[in-house]
C-alpha cells in the first residue's frame, strides 16, 4: 500500500504516522520526493482500512497495490475453481445452464418446466420460493411451500436446484437445496454472508445493482473467509442511465472477474435484459466472452396464450436456444 502525504507535511507528522503504521506490524519505506513524501507499507495490508488512513489530515491519497481479497484472488490460487453440483461441474470448462421459472407457482408448473428444461440440456433447475419484491403488496413467493415444490421437481427429474435465501432465519429450510442464491439486493448483507460461510453448500452470489467488481469479490471473500470456498459469481446487469433495458449487462465482468479471481462466473441474461427478446443474443455474447454458465428464466405458461410471449423464454424458445449455445461452445473450443 502506498500512502502519499501532502506537500507541506511536517517531518514530525511523518514520524508519527510511520510509528502508527509500524504499530500495526508493518514495515514502512519512506521515499522523499521533491514535492511529496511517499510511504510504502509492506506486510499484511489487507487488514488496513484505506478510508481510515485517508482520514489523517496529512494524507493526500492512498493507493492499494495488492487487492484486499485473498481467498478469492487468482494470484494466490491460479487454477480455476470447479464446483461440482451432481452431474454438473461449474467452472470445469464446459458451459453449465441453469434454467427455470422466476417464481415457483405450483407443483404442476415447476415439474413441467423442470422436465422441459432438463430435456433441453439444462443441468440445474432454478425457481424462486422467497421473492424479493419492491412492493409489499406484490406476490412474495410461495416461501416454505415453494422450497417443498422445488424438492419435488428435483426428485422427479434429478436436477439439482438453485433458489434464493432472503434472510438467515430461512436457512434451515435450505437443507436439501443444492445451491443457495444470494440476490443482488443482499450482496452486502454481511451477516448473511458470514453464516453462509459456515455452510457446506455452493453459493451463487449475485452482483448488486451498483456494486463494483471489487465489492463483489469482497462479498465472496466474506463467505470464503468463514470457511466456504464454493462461491459462484453471477453478473445480472448493473444500473446505469440507460433505461431501455431493465439493467445493463456488463459483459466485461466476464474477462475481468476471470482475471482477478479463480471463481466461476455465471451470467443471468434474463434479469439483465428484462425482456425475453434480447435473452438469446445476450446469452450468445456471454458464452463467446467466456462465461462458465448461464442462468435463464423459462416459463411453461405464458400468461396470455394469444399474446404468446413473456419475459421468460417459453420452453420452446429455450429448446431452440440450447443447440445454438452448444454449437457456439464447440466453435469456441476450436477457435
Residues numbered 189-208 forming contacts with a copy of itself, rule: CB under 8 A: 189-194
CB of 287 to a copy of itself, least distance (A): 7
- Rounded to whole angstroms, the Cα distance separating 207 from 184 reads 5
CA atoms within 13 A of residue 59's CA, in its CB half-sphere: 17
The stretch among 86-94, 114-122, 151-159, 185-193 that binds a copy of itself (CB under 8 A) is: 185-193
Window 62 to 121, contacts with a copy of itself (CB under 8 A) = 63, 65-66, 68
Cα gap 104→63, rounded to integer Å: 47
The CA distance from 266 to 98, in Å, is 9
Q: How far is the CB of 112 from a copy of itself (least distance, A)?
A: 18
Residues with Cβ < 8 Å from 258, sequence gap 6 or more? 265, 290
Q: Is 2 in the site for a copy of itself (CB under 8 A)?
A: yes
Minimum CB separation from a copy of itself for residue 146, in Å?
15
From 86-94, 104-112, 156-164, 303-311, give the range in contact with a copy of itself by CB under 8 A: 303-311
Binding mask 111-140 for a copy of itself (x = CB under 8 A): -------------------x-xxxxxxxxx
Nearest to 39, CA basis, from 60, 55, 57: 60
* Least distance to a copy of itself, CB of residue 56, Å: 5
227 binds a copy of itself (CB under 8 A): no
Stretch that binds a copy of itself, among 8-16, 82-90, 113-121, 153-161 (CB under 8 A): 8-16
Distance between CA 82 and CA 92 in Å, rounded? 5
- 47: nearest Cα among 30, 23, 31, 29: 23
Amino acid at each position: 500500500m502506498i500512502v502519499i502525504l501532502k506537500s507541506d507535511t511536517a517531518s514530525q507528522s511523518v514520524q508519527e504516522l510511520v510509528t502508527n503504521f509500524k504499530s500495526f506490524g508493518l514495515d514502512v519505506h519512506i521515499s522523499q520526493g521533491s514535492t511529496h513524501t511517499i510511504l510504502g507499507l509492506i506486510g499484511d495490508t489487507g487488514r488496513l482500512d484505506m478510508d481510515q488512513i485517508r482520514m489523517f489530515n496529512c494524507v493526500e491519497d492512498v493507493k492499494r497495490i495488492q487487492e484486499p481479497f485473498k481467498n478469492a484472488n487468482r494470484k494466490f490460487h491460479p487454477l480455476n475453481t470447479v464446483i461440482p453440483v451432481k452431474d454438473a461441474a461449474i467452472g470445469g470448462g464446459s458451459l453449465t445452464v441453469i434454467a427455470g421459472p422466476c417464481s415457483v407457482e405450483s407443483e404442476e408448473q415447476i415439474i413441467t418446466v423442470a422436465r422441459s428444461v432438463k430435456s433441453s440440456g439444462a443441468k440445474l433447475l432454478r425457481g424462486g420460493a422467497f421473492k424479493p419484491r419492491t412492493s409489499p403488496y406484490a406476490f412474495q413467493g410461495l416461501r416454505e411451500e415453494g422450497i417443498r415444490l422445488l424438492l419435488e421437481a428435483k426428485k422427479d427429474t434429478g436436477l439439482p436446484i438453485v433458489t434464493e435465501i432472503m434472510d438467515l432465519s430461512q436457512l434451515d429450510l435450505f437443507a436439501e437445496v443444492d445451491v443457495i442464491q444470494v440476490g443482488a439486493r443482499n450482496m452486502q448483507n454481511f451477516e448473511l454472508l458470514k453464516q453462509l460461510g459456515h455452510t457446506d453448500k455452493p453459493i451463487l452470489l449475485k452482483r448488486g445493482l451498483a456494486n463494483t467488481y471489487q465489492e463483489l469479490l469482497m462479498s465472496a471473500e466474506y463467505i470464503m473467509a468463514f470457511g466456504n470456498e464454493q462461491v459462484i459469481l453471477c453478473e445480472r446487469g448493473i444500473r446505469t442511465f440507460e433505461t431501455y433495458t431493465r439493467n445493463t449487462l456488463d459483459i466485461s465482468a466476464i474477462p475481468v472477474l476471470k482475471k482477478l479471481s479463480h471463481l466461476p462466473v455465471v451470467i443471468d441474461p434474463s434479469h439483465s435484459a428484462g425482456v425475453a427478446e434480447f435473452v438469446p443474443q445476450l446469452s450468445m455474447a456471454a458464452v463467446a466472452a467466456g462465461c462458465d454458465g448461464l442462468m435463464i428464466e423459462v416459463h411453461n405458461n405464458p400468461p396470455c396464450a394469444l399474446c404468446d410471449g413473456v419475459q421468460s423464454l417459453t420452453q420452446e424458445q429455450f429448446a431452440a436456444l440450447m443447440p445454438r449455445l452448444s454449437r457456439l461452445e464447440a466453435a469456441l473450443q476450436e477457435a
